[in-house]
């Protein structure tokens, strides 16, 4: 009789443990699935932040270069903004 009670109790513990794991995995509002999704989102945002910081550093370097070097400023103005000196003509060839 004692062996039968232990088997029933073991089965109960197994079922209760399984239900608890199921609840923790998918049932609660703070479950394992949402935690994994949040970690993936954090990782994606950190990569985006790193890329944006690198872009900011590059832009800051360009600003420093343009404010300190007149020849570079003139080159950018001519190539990207199509500026010209008063006595020059600008011809734009589109591909």
pLDDT tens track, the chain, 95 positions: 455 566 888 888 888 888 888 777 777 667 777 888 899 999 999 999 999 999 999 999 988 888 888 888 888 888 888 777 788 777 777 87
Tokens found for residue 49: 């932040």
Tokens found for residue 46: 């950190």
Question: How much is the pLDDT for 1?
Answer: 44
Q: CB-based burial of residue 31 (10 Å sphere; 0-12 exposed, 13-18 middle, 19+ buried)?
A: middle
Distances (CA, A) of 20 to 34, 37, 38, 62: 17, 21, 22, 58
Whether the model clears a pTM of 0.75, i.e. scores above it, the answer is no
Question: How much is the pLDDT for 56?
Answer: 97
How far apart CA 24 and CA 19 sit, in angstroms, is 9
């Amino acid at each position: 009789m004692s062996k039968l009670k232990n088997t029933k109790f073991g089965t109960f513990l197994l079922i209760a443990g399984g239900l608890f794991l199921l609840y923790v995995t998918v049932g609660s509002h703070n479950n394992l699935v949402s935690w994994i999704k949040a970690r993936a989102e954090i990782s994606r945002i950190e990569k985006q932040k790193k890329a944006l910081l690198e872009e900011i550093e590059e832009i800051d370097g360009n600003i420093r270069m343009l404010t300190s070097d007149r020849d570079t400023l003139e080159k950018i103005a001519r190539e990207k903004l199509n500026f010209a000196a008063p006595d020059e003509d600008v011809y734009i060839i589109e591909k």
